[in-house]
Structure formats: C-alpha cells, structure tokens
Structure 1
Amino acid sequence: MSHDAIIVGGSYAGLSAGLQLARARRRVLVIDAGIRRNRFASHSHGFLGQDGRAPDDIAADGRAELMDYPNVTWQVGEATSVQRDGEGFLVTLRDGNVLAARRLILAGGVRDELPAIEGLAERWGRHVFHCPYCHGYELDQGRIGVLAVSPMSIHHALMLPDWGSTTFFTNGVFAPDAEQLAQLARRGVVVEPDRVLSISGERVDINLADSRSVALDGLFVMPRTHQNSPLVEQLGCALVEGPMGLYLQTSETQETSVPGVFACGDAALATGSVALAVGTGARAGTGAHQSLIFR
C-alpha cells in the first residue's frame, strides 16, 4: 500500500510531523530505528509543559498520542536507501522491505562527534553538555567550564556566565585576540590556555598538561554533528554549514531542495532542542500535507 507520507525518524520532530498529517486524515508511516540523540540525558528541559521530564517518557507519550490515530503505521527499522518513483518515493529498509509514499519527511536527526578527550564521552548528557538553555539552570550557578573546539566556542564562553562562574579552556585550539579577551573579561570569564589531558572525578575534574586539576559542576562543548540518515546524501538535498556541522536547507514549510522531501528536527537545525524539534516537525507535517493538495 502506498502512503501519503513516510516519516523517517520517530523522535520528537517525527512524532510532531506525523500528528499533523494524522489529523488531516492522511495515511502516515513512521520508520524508527529507536535511537534518540538525547538518550544520554536523564531529564529534558526548556520544553513547555514537559520541563524536567525524562526524555523516554516524553517520547513514549508522544508516540502513544500519535498511534491513537488509525491511519498511522509504525515500522521499527532503519531506512537505508531511497529512490524516486514518479512523483513519490520508494524507501528500502535494512531488512529489504520496500515502502512507498507520495511525500517523504526526513526526521532522522544527527549524531554527535565529541572531542577525543579521555573521560568526556562517559559524562556526555550527565555532566558534559552542549546546550545552556537545556542544562545550564540545573548547575545552580556553580562552576562551569567551556571546552574550545573552534573559534566559535567563544560564543559559548560569553553566554555561560549567566548560569554560573565560567572558565574557558582554549585547549590550544585558538588564542583569543585582545578584543576577545576584553569581552571575556567583561563577562567575568577566566581563560585557561593550558591543554586538557583528561577528565575525571565524580562530576568534572579537568586535568591539565601542567598537572593542575580544575573541579567543575558542569562542562559545555560544541560537538561536531553529522547527518544520521544516508537518505540525505542519496536524495542530494542541499546542506548549510552551521556552527556545529551541516544541516538541511529548508523552506518556510520545511521542504528541502528536493521537491516532495521535507525535513525537521536536529537534521534541519543549526542547533537543536526538543522544543525547536517539535516546532519544525509541526511545520513539516502541515507543509507536506498542503503540498499534497496544492501542487
């Protein structure tokens, strides 16, 4: 059976997109591999009505709401390839199953590439974060670190003092110029130029090359992001270079550069959060629906 839309990715953005299409009484298929980007975090913050809840619980409630609609099908699996089929698309799963739809919504998210520093990955989502709005408040104005991964990290360092006393570990990545140092000083940021060797301790102890250790309550770092879904490259969707990596270029209706293909969530955002993912999902769902009518 051909569906009106296939949504690749069943996390927050994909669920939100599916809900709009389901309520428009369209036949919707969600393909989900079950790997959410925020699976490492115990609590999600900054999403109105869900602040402080476990990410698993938010996703489970969203799926239950979506699956209440009889015109929605859920397929556990990984979409590995896609091809045009007239005005629609054929999506092949890893198990060889081929599924057809008139529209395609890419909501597969991104994967994070973290700095190769011993002890960092083990603390990701618990004591090491990338989004101050998601996790800064819970540090209770404590000791915060920012680990530089590029010159863009200075923006992180200038933001974080609103959440606590901040130390900027430039780690040999770049040396702030005089103007940047003045900006950091005005914000009360301590600049630590020594190289970071490892992270240890119950929370975050930064071990430096000169044998010093700096104890923190939390550390922020901008990971390098990569598109999760191979369908992005196969379709030839245009990408935009953001501060953390490439993300999908979309229109006001979340349509990509490929007609009939929409995108939402972290895959289509320069920087992501649950609230933003849900918003773009709603736009992608309504955009895909209206494209079925007006073209």
Structure 2
Amino acid sequence: MSFEVIIVGGSFAGQSAALQLARARRRVLLVDKKEPRNRFARSSHGFLGQDGEAPAAIMAKATRQLSAYPTVVQVEGEAVTARREDHTFRVRLADGREELGARLILAVGVRDTLPAVDGLEERWGVSVLHCPYCHGYELGGGPIGVLASGPNAVHQATLVPDWGPTTLFTQGVFEPDAEQEALLTERGAAIERTPIVELLGTAPALQAVRLADGRTVELAGLFVAPKTALSSDLGAQLGCAFEDGPTGPFIRVDGRQRTSVPGVLAAGDAASAMTNATLAAASGAMAGFGAHQSLIFGEPAQRPSSAAA
C-alpha cells in the first residue's frame, strides 16, 4: 500500500503530525518502536491541559484518538532504512516489510547518554532531571544540584535557583570564569569543585550526594545535561543536513520543519536544540501542515542549507 505521508516516530511530535494529516483526510502511516525518550518520567508538566499526566497515558490517549481516523495506519515497529526513488520514499521496517510514501516526516527523537556517576542512571527521569521547566516545581523548593558537563552548566545553574537553593558541581570538567562566577553568586548559586562520586537514598528518590572527599550534600534533585544522539540514522541515510546543539547534533529544518532534502520533514527532539513536550507537539503540527501543503503546492525552490554540521 502506498501512503501520502510516512511518519517515523510516534511520541508527541509524530502523533501531532499524524493528527493534522488525518484531519486533512490524507493516507498516513505512523511507525513507532515504542521507546520514547520520556518513558522514564512519571509525569509530564507544563503541557497545557495535560499537566501532571504520565507521558505514556498522554500517548495512549493520542493513539486512541488517531485510531478514529480511517486514513491513518499505526504500526509498532522500527524503520531501519529509507531511500528516495523518483518522487517516492521507500521505507523498510525491521520485520522486512517495505512501505512507500510521497512525503516522509522524521520524528525519531533522541537517546541520552548520562554522566558516569554511581546511582545516577536509576534515578533518571524522577530525581535526576534535565529540564527545570518540566520538573523543577515538583522538587518542592528543596536543595538542587547541577552537574556540570561543560560551559553550558552555568546557564542551567543560573536558571535553577528559581526552583530551590542551587549548587553547581563542576566535577573537574569545567571552571567558571570570573564573570560567570559573579553571575552565579548574584543568583545565589554555590559552586562546589569537589566531584560527586555517588548518589544516596532509596532510588529513584534522591536524598544526598557523596563527594570525593567523603562529605555529603543533601539534595532533592540533580539536573544534568546528558549527551544526545538521534535514535535513528534515517536522516543521515537520506542526506539531511545537521546542526550541532549544546548536547548533540539535530536535523536542520526551516520554519515549516522542512529538511534540506525535498520531501523530508523533521520534528520534535530530533530537529531542535530545545527539547520540551509542548515544543515537540507544536513542531509536529507544523510538520503535518508542511507535508500536507507540499502535497498540494509542491516543494519550494529554497531549502535549508545542505551543509552538514
């Protein structure tokens, strides 16, 4: 069966894109391997109308709503290859099946590589976090740590004091300069240069961290900036341009979520340096609009720069 749009990835961005196209009565295939980045989080916050809901519950509701549209086919599986053949994209799934689509939306998301600190991984998404806007309020104003992985830690440590007393742990990988230190002091953030070696408490909760010199520091939560990589290499296979973000590369898109490859759009965490449920859903909607309109009006002559990062 040939589809008008194939969407790879079924979290906030992919389902949002599918919804717009479904309502335009377009034939859509949504392929999702059911491993969303947010699967470790108990709740999603700051998402209008869904504040406090579990991400899995939000996605299950979206899946049910999409199933009411007869032009949408939802498949659990992994898209492993994609290539362009004339004006059509051929996508092969891990089970060997191949599907054809006139347009392709990559909402593949990213995967995280966490700092190697004892006790950190089992707390990821609950008391070890990456977004204060998503999870800072739930720390209840308690003491907060920011684990440095580079200069961007200053930006995070400058934001976080609005959610609780903050300590920047430099971990020996970064030393703030005089201007940065003055900014942190102005915001009331302390600087601790002795590295964290262990997280303490009954996981996934966090009670304190142990430092290399044996001291313990009480914390309600610890913010980190994990390294990110796209969860799929389909964008690279197709020749999409990439940009370097603060935590890792992402697919370059224009204001309509169009990549450097005609007919290919991208949305969500895979196509943005800023990752957030609301932003992912919004970019997915825009990708849906863009794909629909390109089916009607054709592809524009101007594309985002094709120079890869």
Tell whether the structures are fold-level matches, with TM greater than 0.5: yes
CA contact (8 A) 1:206 1:214 kept: yes
Q: Which amino acid letter does the alignment assign opposite residue 233 of structure 2?
A: P
Q: Deviations over 1:181-204 (max 9, x none)?
A: 111110000100011212121314
Partner of 2:69: 69
Q: Which amino acid letter does the alignment assign opposite residue 46 of structure 2?
A: G
Partner of 1:270: 273
Say if 2:223 is the partner of 1:205: no
CA contact (8 A) 1:204 1:219 kept: no
Partner of 1:33: 33
SS in 2 for 1:175: coil
Q: Which amino acid letter does the alignment assign opposite residue 121 of structure 1?
A: E
CA contact (8 A) 1:84 1:90 kept: yes
Select 1:288's aligned residue among 283, 287, 291. 291
SS in 2 for 1:214: strand
Q: Which amino acid letter does the alignment assign opposite residue 101 of structure 2?
A: A
Partner of 1:252: 255
Identity %: 56
Partner of 2:302: none
CA contact (8 A) 1:127 1:204 kept: no
Partner of 1:79: 79
| Runs of 4+ in structure 1 over 4 Å off | none
User: What does residue range 4-43 of structure 1 map to in structure 2 within 5 Å?
Assistant: 4-43=4-43
CA contact (8 A) 1:244 1:271 kept: no
Structure 1 residue 268 displacement after superposition: 0.7
SS in 1 for 2:83: strand
The 2-side partners of 1:184 and 1:74 are apart by 48
The 2-side partners of 1:12 and 1:85 are apart by 29
SS in 1 for 2:247: coil
Say if 2:212 is the partner of 1:224: no
SS in 2 for 1:171: coil
The 2-side partners of 1:236 and 1:228 are apart by 16
Partner of 1:125: 125
Q: Mind listing any 5+ residue stretches in structure 1 that lack a counterpart?
A: none
CA contact (8 A) 1:169 1:194 kept: yes
CA contact (8 A) 1:240 1:248 kept: yes
Partner of 1:190: 190
Partner of 1:237: 240
CA contact (8 A) 1:141 1:165 kept: yes
CA contact (8 A) 1:141 1:163 kept: yes
Q: Which amino acid letter does the alignment assign opposite residue 256 of structure 2?
A: T
Q: Which amino acid letter does the alignment assign opposite residue 114 of structure 1?
A: L
The 1-side partners of 2:233 and 2:95 are apart by 16
Aligned residues: 295
SS in 1 for 2:112: strand
Q: Deviations over 1:24-60 (max 9, x none)?
A: 1100000010011111011100100000011111001
Structure 1 residue 95 displacement after superposition: 1.0
Q: Which amino acid letter does the alignment assign opposite residue 41 of structure 2?
A: A
The 2-side partners of 1:127 and 1:35 are apart by 20
**Superposition TM-score, scaled by structure 1 size:** 0.99
The 2-side partners of 1:88 and 1:213 are apart by 59
Q: Which amino acid letter does the alignment assign opposite residue 185 of structure 1?
A: T
Q: Deviations over 1:73-113 (max 9, x none)?
A: 01111000011111110000111100000000001100011
Q: Which amino acid letter does the alignment assign opposite residue 225 of structure 1?
A: T
Partner of 1:134: 134
SS in 1 for 2:118: coil
Q: Mind listing any 5+ residue stretches in structure 2 that lack a counterpart?
A: 299-309
Structure 1 residue 115 displacement after superposition: 0.4
CA contact (8 A) 1:200 1:207 kept: yes
Say if 2:150 is the partner of 1:143: no
